[in-house]
Amino acid sequence: MGSILELALINLTSPVVLFFALGLFITILKAKIEFPGAISDFITIYLLVAIGFKGGVAIAQAGLSSIMMTISGAVFLGIFIPLYCFFILWRVGKLKSDDAAAIAGHYGSISVVTFMAAAAFLTNMQVNYEGYLNGLPALMEVPAIVVALILASWANQKNRENSALEETSFVQVTKQVVLSKSVVLLLGAMVVGYLTGPKGMATVEVFYKDIFMGMLSLFMLEMGIVAAGKLGELKKAGVFLVIFGVLLPPVNALLGILIGAAAGLSVGGATLLGVLAASSSYIVAPAAMRVSLPKANPALYLGASLGVTLPFNLVVGIPIYFYMADYFIKMVN
């Protein structure tokens, strides 16, 4: 399916990535362009509902019993990734336990933006993928953040520190994550899509399919502006976190791709599962960590997630993960 350089060129010349780059340049040039809050919220809500709804319709078509292995693999990734990331950050990176847990929670959680960009890349490449994968992002948010908080509590007690978590914090953070805008809209729309099925999609296809890419391009423009604003925080993050933010995504992507291959996913499906594993949250996770781990430094977890991993995945990572998925799926088959 082409060399890695050809795939990278296709990705770099896609509207989604170019609009993201435009947002970066707008901020670097210090041009005063801001999205009105109401419009920004509308675009976000639209994209989350569209993804969840399409995922629900695809699940209805595929049947729940046929996708349980993929769902189990996605939940496993949401638990395992923050677990091993925490020990790398804590022991190798010598970060404070709260900072290590907060960053691990971000990398165990997922980025819907990166997922959408990968789906757009596959569409541009005319590569099909299992539609029910649109429902996986919401399923991977909760376990990663809860695992990160458990690790922070354990490390604080091990070091005989005053725990930053109250006894009720796990219940509180779980409730907060489950009721967050991203999870509620994704899961809610997925249920609607599942109940209405293909017939329901036929009645709203123009709204949720035909204009999706245009709305995504506007969203990526805003994300470029937001990401550029976090570049200055990389100085606070340090060299270790920059290296971590670049090297970790391909490793996590490989885990996701291998699980996707074992679950019988197509090349496109394994690519998307790899992208979910490789991505890092910057919406749900920061909100949860700000409340549950107030001692964690936001400059570290936002600098790594938004300043390093998001641009890396959008510009370089997605074509690499597709190349990896294509290689391993062919090897398995």
Q: Say if CB 102 and CB 288 are below 8 A apart.
A: no
Domain CATH code at residue 315 = 1.20.1530
Q: Say if CB 179 and CB 141 are below 8 A apart.
A: no
| Confidence band, pLDDT 50/70/90 cuts, at residue 81 | very high
Provide the pLDDT for residue 237: 63
In a domain, 297, yes or no: yes
Cβ neighbours of 203 (radius 10 Å):
9
Distance CA 302, CA 36 (A): 23
Whether 89 has a pLDDT exceeding 90, the answer reads yes
How far is CA 68 from its chain centroid? 21
Provide the pLDDT for residue 321: 97
Which string of DSSP letters, residue by residue, matches 246-269?
HHHHHHHHHHHHHHHHHTT--HHH
Q: Say if CB 220 and CB 20 are below 8 A apart.
A: yes
**What is the average per-residue pLDDT within 175-202?**
83
Task: Give 65's DSSP letter.
Answer: G
In a domain, 285, yes or no: yes
Provide the pLDDT for residue 276: 96
Question: Average pLDDT, whole number, for the chain?
Answer: 84
- Using alpha carbons only, how large is the chain's radius of gyration in Å? 19
Q: Say if CB 162 and CB 156 are below 8 A apart.
A: yes
**What is the average per-residue pLDDT within 156-174?**
55
Residue among 274, 280, 273 nearest 144 (CA): 280
Provide the pLDDT for residue 298: 79
In a domain, 30, yes or no: no
Higher pLDDT, 165 or 271: 271
Whether 162 has a pLDDT exceeding 60, the answer reads no
In a domain, 24, yes or no: no
Number of structural domains (the chain) is 1
Q: Which domain holds residue 250?
A: 4-19+36-328
In a domain, 25, yes or no: no
Global pTM value: 0.81
Q: In this predicted model, what pLDDT tens digit does every residue of 53-72 receive, in sequence order? A: 888 888 888 887 778 999 89
In a domain, 87, yes or no: yes
Provide the pLDDT for residue 184: 81
Q: In this predicted model, what pLDDT tens digit does every residue of 206-239 receive, in sequence order? A: 898 889 888 988 988 888 887 787 666 666 667 8
**What is the average per-residue pLDDT within 149-175?**
61
